[in-house]
Amino acid sequence: LPEGMEERTKGKGMIIRGWAPQVLILDHQATGGFVTHCGWNSLLEGVAAGLPMVTWPVGAEQFYNEKLVTQVLRTGVSVGAKRHVKVMEDFISREKVEKAVREVLVGEEAEERRRRAKKLSEMAKAAVEEGG
């Protein structure tokens, strides 16, 4: 972390060192969306939490998983990553990230995305119940 970061964020946020309790964070009422690298476990956790997603794949099967979220389930917006990240020059601009976050959180399309995400969450939870 940059020097002084902890002091500047004291009382405004939280810095978690080590493994973050992702499921608890995703299930928190203040969490409105999920920026994800599109790993399968993360996608399942996002679906179970009923959250719309900002997708940012970096390698392996993540690009296929992104297609599922953005084109099939239609609960996510891509930041525009097009290939496996191998070098530092392969980056996504802050403007693209901001645009995707806004698309997930603001507007009528965002509300529709959120409705679909909530419905998927209900279906996922019902599927793991007895008789589901």
Domain membership of residue 7 (yes or no) is: no
pLDDT surpassing 70 at residue 88: no
pLDDT > 70 fraction of the chain, expressed in percent and rounded:
95
Domain assignment present for residue 4? The answer is no
**What angle, 0 to 180 degrees and rounded to 10, lies between the N-to-C axes of helices 40-49 and 108-127?**
100
Model confidence band, residue 90 (pLDDT cutoffs 50, 70, 90) = low
- Give the least confident one: 21-25, 76-80, 85-89, 126-130: 85-89
Kindly tell me if the per-residue pLDDT of 118 is higher than 90.
yes
Using 50, 70 and 90 to split pLDDT, how confident is the model at 91? confident
pLDDT tens, residue by residue, 18-34: 899 999 999 999 999 99
Q: Is residue 14 part of a domain?
A: no
Does 5 fall in a domain? no
User: Residue 89: its pLDDT value, please?
Assistant: 62
Distance CA 113, CA 98 (A): 17
pTM recorded for the entire structure: 0.85
With H, G, I as helix, E, B as strand and everything else as coil, classify residue 24. Answer: helix
Q: What is the CATH number of the domain that holds 107?
A: 3.40.50.2000
Mean pLDDT across the stretch 47-76? 97
pLDDT band at residue 128 using 50, 70 and 90 as cut-offs? very high
Question: 3-state DSSP: the chain helix, strand, coil percent, rounded to 5?
Answer: 50, 5, 45
Structural domain of residue 99, as residue ranges? 19-127
Q: How many domains does the chain have?
A: 1
